Amino acid sequence: MSLAAEFHCLSDHDPDALAVDQARAFIRSQLAPLQTRERVALRSALGRVLAGDVIAPFAVPAHDNSAMDGYALRRADLSQVAGTCLRVVGTTWAGKAFAGTVAAGECVRIMTGALLPPDCDTVVMQEVVAVDGDEIIVPPGQRPGQNVRRAGEDLAAGKPALAGGRLIGPAELGLIASLGVAEVSVFRRLRVAFFSTGDELCSIGTPLGDGEVYDSNRYTIFAMLTRMGCEVLDLGVVGDRPALLEEAFRQAAAAADVVITSGGVSVGEADFVRDLMATLGEVLFWKIAMKPGRPMAFGRIRGAGEGAPGAWLFGLPGNPVAVMVAFLQFVRDALYLLMGADPVPGVPLLPAVSAVALKKSPGRTEYQRGVLADGRVRPAGAQGSGILRSMSDANCLIVLEHGRGNIAVGDPVSVQLFDGLL
């Protein structure tokens, strides 16, 4: 079925007033992970997606060990009503185990991470113990088995330590290292080509002409893609001329899995892009019920020859903030899905309280740049869709949902945290 036919099947989808959730769900329904694997050294796996489960070759921790600096002892020796006097017969360090045995009435000084001597099952922390020569007094009230990390309590041997589809961040890298695994199988990086459209755009390094603006979208898009671990291909600025655009689309689709453009999808500009796309592939032009970021195109550009895979296209609006908001709402999800991430990591959505009154019209989702602190959120400054300054000052987007009207001081609102994402 064609993309347009599939879109129309979903009867309540109106391309001129598409709700954010519907657009996001439709995009996701069309995509499937790319699935090409490669093996990489552990450090190179940072930011990549695991292509298969990482199995724990042994239990972690491998042996019972101490969670504290203190004394290892036998629970049967402890009195629950009075202090217990024990003789210290040795010391055990992490990496240097106590070789002797611990008899009744004895204990061993133990350091954090050190193996528990086989005769011992409980650790008492050093701070509560009174030391007298080679003897200690343990106060009553100790819990049998306390302060011991059990063998296998973190990971069981032979079980998946991490499932395929997991995005590898710092914690995952450390976890894999703790298993002694030096190489992992990951999906290949997603290749994303992008260009900006607009006769008024000037690339940095060239003096600005009359009425020109510097192209900032290629920088925000580059940055967002790079943070996601994509391989990026910057195709520069393309003027608003069909022949130039056609060449750029063909080149981008031949080189990449995904093509992202900015500008040229708003009313008035969209017409010739629409005609062009009808010959190059199949692309839907939407007006999404959102602010900022209303116009957007989504679809596929065909490959050049038989068997050529072609590329997914996201035609984002031109306004610099609209680009970032649309990327966060639609493109990020889609790219993670194509990368093989499972589950697709969502943007953290938190409850907050609005510190100010906010104007809002029902019937569209609005995203305001906000500053969240101590559960209260306020706008980060002027909200014009070209103003990157307030995007930079913000640490979140205040999400004013589709059906909502004006917000009063103290009303609950949701915020999307983008620290580290944008």
* Token pair recorded at residue 375: 């559960």
State the nearest-atom distance from the C-beta of 278 to ligand AMP, in Å. 20
Please name which of 280, 277, 196, 189 lies closest in space to residue 234, comparing C-alpha atoms. Answer: 196
Residue 263: CB minimum distance to Mg ion, A: 4
Yes or no: say if 88 and 111 are a contact pair by the CB < 8 Å rule.
no
252 sits in which H/E element: helix 242-255
Task: Give, as ranges, the residues between 316 and 335 that touch ligand AMP (CB under 6 A).
Answer: 317-320
The position carrying tokens 């987007």 is 397
d(CA 415, CA 396): 6
- What does each C-alpha distance from 276 to 141, 260, 271, 377, 404 come to in angstroms? 79, 16, 9, 43, 38
Which residue's CB is nearer to Mg ion, number 165 or number 263? Answer: 263
Is 215 among the residues that bind ligand AMP (CB under 6 A)?
yes
**346-to-328, 329, 331, 416 alpha-carbon distances in Å:** 10, 10, 12, 10
Stretch that binds Mg ion, among 192-200, 252-260, 354-362, 365-373 (CB under 5 A): 192-200
Residue 295 near Mg ion by CB under 5 A: no
Nearer to Mg ion, 44 or 216 (CB): 216
263 binds Mg ion (CB under 5 A): yes
Per partner kind, with CB cut-offs from 5 to 8 A, the member of ligand AMP, Mg ion, none near residue 146 is none
Instruction: Compute the distance between CA of residue 220 and CA of residue 215 in angstroms, rounded to an integer.
Output: 10
List b or e across 369-385, with b for residues whose CB sees 16 or more CB atoms inside 10 angstroms.
bbbbeeeebbbbbebeb
Binding residue for ligand AMP (CB under 6 A) from 264, 293, 315, 370? 264
Q: Which residue, 273 or 355, is less far from ligand AMP as judged by CB?
A: 273
Nearest to ligand AMP of 262, 329 (CB atom): 262
198 binds Mg ion (CB under 5 A): yes
Among 269, 342, 393, 401, binds ligand AMP (CB under 6 A): 269
User: Does position 217 bind ligand AMP by CB under 6 A?
Assistant: yes
| Residue 219: CB minimum distance to Mg ion, A | 17
- Residue 75 DSSP class: G
263 binds ligand AMP (CB under 6 A): yes
Nearer to ligand AMP, 299 or 317 (CB): 317
Pick from 64, 206, 228: which is nearest to 147 by CA? 64
Q: How far apart are CA 122 and CA 105, in angstroms?
A: 13
Q: Which of 266, 274, 342, 389 binds ligand AMP (CB under 6 A)?
A: 266
Which residues contact ligand AMP (rule: CB under 6 A)? 196, 198, 200-201, 213, 215-217, 262-264, 266, 269, 317-320
Binding footprint of Mg ion on the chain (CB under 5 A): 198, 263, 318
